[in-house]
């Protein structure tokens, strides 16, 4: 007790600093490292914010926590929206990080991004790392008898629609059913056929009207219905998962005047400047009043 009384001040300072650092450490983890994970786990947050905001939070989670994709329970979008950079990141994590969880979700995300399914991604990436994501996807179609042009050509439309119209097996949860149903294709091939058409500027309504006999004779009506359903889920105007050959104007919407940088600057200046000027004037008047009162007191003493 005597020692404690003698040293309680430095000991108290040390404990106080440790408590401050502990609080700051927890705050850092809660409000920065774990923030994306908390947001994605919150149904209210997911409903409130846009799909772009959701994908941004998901990317933050990967970068800050190194989390593996969870397409089944969390509905992660990396497979649908990830580009070549995210594909390489995921392959690298799966190959080099022993603590990284590699599961069906990882395989599904890689398949969606590349339109491929490799027995060994380590070997596959050695051969294909220098190629573009669009070239990967193009090669994936060829495995199912469809050859497309890069950049896209109108002659590819019908063959890609036929791919979309085929029955699919769920690559994530159902397992490879192709042995029992060889005419079916993996779900990731259907998605990539859809976005190849979408990003090439395909107009399903115009195509159906202009090619009514071909649509009827080749049973493309089902494919067009499936395309419309996918388009509702993955619209081009959200700018997510867009391939490199897509026209930029196709995905960029003009900002309303209220959101233009110039208008925002003026609005914020009109909010901030009067407040700062008012605070400065108030403090200045208080200072003058204090100086005047001090002068009066001094003159009274003399």
d(CA 215, CA 146): 18
The pLDDT-based confidence of 262 (bands split at 50, 70, 90) is: confident
Domain ranges for the chain: 32-66, 68-259
d(CA 100, CA 81): 21
The pLDDT-based confidence of 89 (bands split at 50, 70, 90) is: very high
Burial label, 83 (beta-carbon count in 10 A; 0-12, 13-18, 19+): middle
pLDDT, greater one: 233 or 250: 233
Q: What is the pLDDT of residues 15-28, one digit of tens each?
A: 788 888 888 888 88
Cβ–Cβ under 8 Å, residues 97 and 66: yes
pLDDT, greater one: 139 or 180: 139
d(CA 199, CA 151): 11
d(CA 79, CA 102): 14
CB neighbourhood size of 158 (10 A): 15
From the list 162, 155, 164, the residue with the least C-alpha distance to 217 is 162
pLDDT at residue 291 tops 80: no
d(CA 220, CA 239): 27
What is the model's pLDDT at position 175?
A: 57
From the list 22, 131, 143, the residue with the least C-alpha distance to 84 is 131
The pLDDT-based confidence of 93 (bands split at 50, 70, 90) is: very high
Q: What is the pLDDT of residues 165-222, one digit of tens each?
A: 988 888 877 655 555 667 789 999 999 999 999 999 999 999 898 888 877 777 788 8
What is the model's pLDDT at position 290?
A: 56
From the list 127, 136, 129, 154, the residue with the least C-alpha distance to 192 is 136
DSSP 237: G
State the pTM of this model.
0.78
Sign, Cα dihedral of 43, 48, 49, 50:
positive
Q: What is the pLDDT of residues 100-134, one digit of tens each?
A: 999 889 999 999 999 999 989 999 999 999 999 99
d(CA 205, CA 144): 26
pLDDT at residue 229 tops 90: yes
* Percent of all residues in the chain with a pLDDT value above 90, rounded to a whole number: 48
d(CA 163, CA 158): 9
d(CA 289, CA 250): 63
The pLDDT-based confidence of 249 (bands split at 50, 70, 90) is: very low
Least confident of 73-87, 88-102, 288-302: 288-302
* φ, ψ for residue 185, nearest 5 deg: -125, 155
Q: How far is CA 190 from CA 95, 171, 245, in A?
A: 27, 11, 19
Instruction: Name the average pLDDT for the chain.
Output: 84
């Amino acid at each position: 007790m005597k020692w404690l009384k003698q040293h309680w001040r430095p000991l108290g300072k040390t404990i106080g600093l440790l408590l401050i650092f502990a609080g700051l450490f927890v705050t850092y983890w809660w409000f920065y490292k774990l923030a994306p994970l908390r947001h994605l786990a919150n149904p209210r947050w997911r409903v409130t914010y846009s799909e772009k905001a959701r994908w941004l939070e998901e990317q933050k989670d990967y970068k800050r926590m190194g989390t593996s994709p969870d397409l089944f329970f969390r509905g992660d979008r990396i497979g649908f929206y990830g580009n070549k950079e995210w594909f390489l990141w995921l392959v690298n994590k799966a190959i080099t990080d022993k603590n990284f969880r590699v599961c069906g979700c990882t395989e599904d995300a890689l398949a969606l991004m590349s339109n491929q399914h490799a027995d060994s991604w380590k070997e596959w990436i050695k051969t294909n790392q220098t190629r573009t994501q669009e070239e990967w996807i193009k090669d994936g179609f060829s495995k199912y008898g469809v050859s497309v042009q890069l950049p896209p050509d109108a002659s590819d439309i019908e063959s890609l629609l036929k791919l979309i119209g085929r029955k699919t097996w769920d690559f994530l949860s159902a397992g490879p059913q192709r042995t029992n149903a060889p005419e079916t294709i993996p779900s990731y091939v259907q998605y990539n056929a859809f976005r190849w058409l979408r990003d090439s500027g395909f107009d399903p309504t115009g195509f159906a009207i202009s090619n009514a006999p071909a649509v009827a004779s080749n049973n493309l009506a089902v494919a067009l219905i499936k395309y419309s359903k996918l388009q509702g889920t993955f619209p081009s105007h959200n700018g997510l998962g867009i391939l490199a050959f897509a026209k930029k104007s196709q995905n960029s919407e003009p900002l309303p005047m209220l959101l233009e940088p110039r208008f925002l600057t003026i609005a914020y200046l009109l909010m901030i400047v009067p407040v700062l000027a008012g605070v400065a004037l108030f403090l200045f008047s208080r200072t003058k009043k204090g100086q005047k009162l001090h002068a009066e007191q001094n003159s009274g003493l003399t």
